[in-house]
């Protein structure tokens, strides 16, 4: 059985998969209510050469940014602090 990667390892593994593909997402939105975690993701993505489109803390803000266009991919927190889940933004 493979060892558990944890959140950080899982995210890095997925970002590495994307980086190795032929197409690289242009603008990545971070949907995260913890500012430190959001900053960590921004730093990882920046080091990997990704263009971070910014971060938002609520589902409604994420949906607004996604529907406004220019977002190619997003990293979504599953459970936000205000009780929201990111399932609504996944559908966008």
Neighbours of 58 (CB within 10 A): 15
Q: What is the DSSP string of 19-79?
A: HHSS---S-EEEE-S-HHHHHHHHHHHHHTT--EEEEESSHHHHHHHHHTS---EEEE-SB
56-89 pLDDT, tens digit per residue, is: 998 889 889 888 888 888 888 888 877 776 566 5
CATH fold for the domain made of 22-90:
Rossmann fold (3.40.50)
What pLDDT, on the 0 to 100 scale, is given for residue 42? 92
The structure tokens listed for 18 are 């994307």
Where residue 1 falls among pLDDT bands split at 50, 70, 90? very low
How much of the chain exceeds pLDDT 90, in percent? 24
pTM for the model: 0.68
For position 46, what pLDDT does the model report? 86
Mean per-residue pLDDT over the chain, rounded: 77
């Amino acid at each position: 059985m493979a060892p558990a990667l944890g959140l950080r390892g899982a995210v890095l593994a997925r970002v590495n998969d994307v980086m190795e593909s032929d197409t690289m997402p242009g603008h990545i939105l971070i949907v995260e209510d913890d500012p430190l975690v959001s900053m960590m993701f921004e730093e990882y993505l920046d080091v990997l050469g990704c263009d971070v489109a910014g971060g938002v803390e609520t589902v409604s803000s994420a949906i607004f940014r996604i529907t406004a266009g220019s977002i190619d991919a997003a990293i979504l927190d599953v459970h936000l602090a205000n009780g929201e889940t990111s399932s609504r933004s996944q559908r966008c």
